[in-house]
Amino acid sequence: MDYKRYIAERLNVEGMRVEELSEAIILPPNTEMGDYALPCFKFAKTFRKSPVLIAQGLKETYPLDDVIGSVEAVNGYLNFKVNRRGLAKATLEEIEREGDLYGSSNEGNGKTICIDYSSVNIAKPFHIGHLSTTVIGGALYRAYRFFGYHAVGINHLGDYGTQFGKLIAAFKHWGNKEQVEKGGIRAINDLYIRFHKEAETHPELEDEARGYFKFIEEGDPECNQIFEWFKEITMRYVDEIYQMLDIRFDSYAGERFYTDKMEPVVAELKEKGLLVESQGAQIVNLDAYNMPPCIILRSDGASLYATRDMAAAIYRKKTYDFTKCLYVVAYQQNLHFKQFFKVLELMGKEWAKDLVHVAYGMVSLEEGAMSTRKGNMVFLEDVIHRCIEKAQKVIEEKNSSLENKEEVAKIVGTGAVIFSALYNNKIKDIVFSYDKVLSFEGETSVYVQYTCARANSVLQKAGELPKNYEIPELSLEEFELVKALSSFRQAISDCLEKYEPCYIARFAVDVAQKFNKFYFDYKILSETGDTRAFRLALTKATLQVLKNAFALLGIGIPEKM
């Protein structure tokens, strides 16, 4: 239930819409004061009364019922207390009834959301810097689907540019097929690193690379065969990582896909008088918007990222008719997105307002920035495997008799990597540290997973759960847990409104903390009657909701740990 709206609909405030009242309602810092509060100070000028008198007047006209048990006017605030037993009954019944769908919504029915994320580069390693875009995009993809939207996951492959000419040159000079087949993406990366090292003393290699890329563009059979072979090796490699992270896509249309779709964009810009020449290049002047010019064609006639991204946006609108198109890309590209969004707007694309750059922070090593050219790189699969090994070691130390130890370690280790990128606000920069990523203490996925294992153990010992029982009077700890469970849908809504999966991750940690306090402070299995039945139902509901939350993040929950 949306309690804020429920309260707002029953308040009698002349001239105020329900939506305005709902937004004005806050959560008090102390539950003893109330579960919800309406500050009346903002109404004083309108009604020419003190906030204290306004609050008192609203209290006298508010109708109490089975949902809101009491209303108090205190120092200009109208404090509402939820009927605890009523909330518990409604929440537990809804969780039991909806199961894996609890928290879902149909608000997105008939709406399409395109999400451009991960966007791996062909023939380059999947490094730790790709973690944020991949798991943030994956979480948003699942959350939108959970809310009834038609989500389209797009992997805008980096499969166009002179780097492929460099790779072909390197392969022809120093590589062989057996070596690349055996070494896979790492062997290809070694060739890329060697090219840049050799080019420092042999700059003519750069011209050779540009020549090979031109051959690719012109359809040279041999060069394109090598390129497609590199692409096949890359996709096999990244698919393994995507499977570990529970990531899926509906489209792999990359930069190369839009090669023949850029010319109409350039033609339209010319037709609408937006293109001007500057030092031989074709640009759109954005001085009026306090931005540098958006370069559409270089002086040699070559296209740029902006040209391809505009062609991609137009194609996606025609193909999917999206409600919104999200780009989960690091904040370093802020200007790029502002520029091409603005150019599309100037072209008269009214849907340009529906393009959203979901910016996130950068990842760097403790010793400095990463560089593919220099080989200073942390491979993401190495991080995942090290976390899995760490989890296996902990399991051996704490529960060596655990069944399916390897599978549990895989779920725990992979979840730790995903959670490390989702728990904090996405815009924060991350200085990558193995010690932090491999930590299994504090506000981590492991803490939540262990909480679920504890709840599962209680339920297994309890046997068959009673179906009919009366809700007893709730303690504060029980009520806090129930209230947290009832707010799951709001956490997902906040995630989608702000494009922040951390709302779901923090929700899960908060529920786990409240359950553990309840678990340690109150008897469950040794109780009798309605109290035992209620606490078992609360335990089962907590397990279900935590599973649902982690499923949206792409993290599994082992039955035992």
pLDDT of residue 404: 92
368-388 confidence digits (pLDDT tens): 555 555 555 678 898 899 889
Separation CA 344–CA 338 (nearest Å):
10
d(CA 238, CA 227): 16
DSSP 148: T
Q: Is residue 368 a contact partner of residue 436, using CB atoms and an 8 Å limit?
A: no
Residue type, 200: E
- How far, in Å, CA of 323 to CA of 154, rounded? 15
Q: What is the pLDDT of residue 374?
A: 54
| Cα–Cα nearest to 113, from 322, 314, 253 | 322
User: What pLDDT, in 10s, does the model give residues 62-87?
Assistant: 998 888 989 999 999 999 999 999 99
Kindly report, residue by residue over 537-557, the tens digit of the pLDDT.
999 999 999 999 999 999 999
pLDDT in tens, the chain (561 residues): 788 889 999 998 888 899 999 999 998 988 888 999 999 998 998 889 999 999 999 999 999 888 898 999 999 999 999 999 999 999 999 999 999 999 999 999 999 999 999 999 888 888 888 999 999 999 999 999 999 999 999 999 999 888 899 999 999 999 989 999 999 989 998 999 999 999 999 999 999 998 988 888 888 999 999 999 999 999 999 999 999 999 999 999 999 899 899 999 999 999 999 999 999 999 999 999 999 999 999 887 777 889 999 999 999 999 999 999 999 999 999 999 999 999 999 999 999 999 999 999 987 656 555 555 555 567 889 889 988 998 999 889 888 889 999 999 999 999 999 999 999 899 888 776 666 766 666 789 999 999 999 999 999 999 999 889 999 999 999 999 999 999 999 999 999 999 999 999 999 999 999 999 999 999 999 999 999 999 999 999 999 999 999 999 999 999 998
DSSP string, 409-449: HHHHHHHHHHHHHHSS-TTS-EEE-HHHHT--SSSSHHHHH
Sheet holding 294-297, edge to edge: 275-278, 281-284, 294-297
Q: Where in the chain is the domain with CATH 1.10.730.10?
A: 380-553
CA nearest neighbour of 553 among 497, 489, 492, 465: 492
Specify which residues 86 forms β-bridges with.
none
Residue type present at position 75: N
Please list the residue range(s) of the chain that carry CATH number 3.30.1360.70. Answer: 3-82
**Residue 229 in 3-state DSSP?**
helix
The answer to whether domain 380-553 has CATH 1.10.730.10 is yes
CA 162/CA 15 separation, integer angstroms: 63
Residue whose structure tokens are 């492991």? 446
Instruction: Give the distance, in angstroms, between the CA of residue 10 and the centroid of all CA atoms in the same chain.
Output: 36
CB atoms near residue 125 (< 10 Å): 26
Beta carbons within 8 Å of 452's beta carbon, 6+ residues apart: 512, 543, 546, 547, 557, 558
pLDDT at 65: 86
Domain 3-82, classified CATH 3.30.565.10, yes or no? no
Kind and range of the H or E element at 145?
helix 131-146
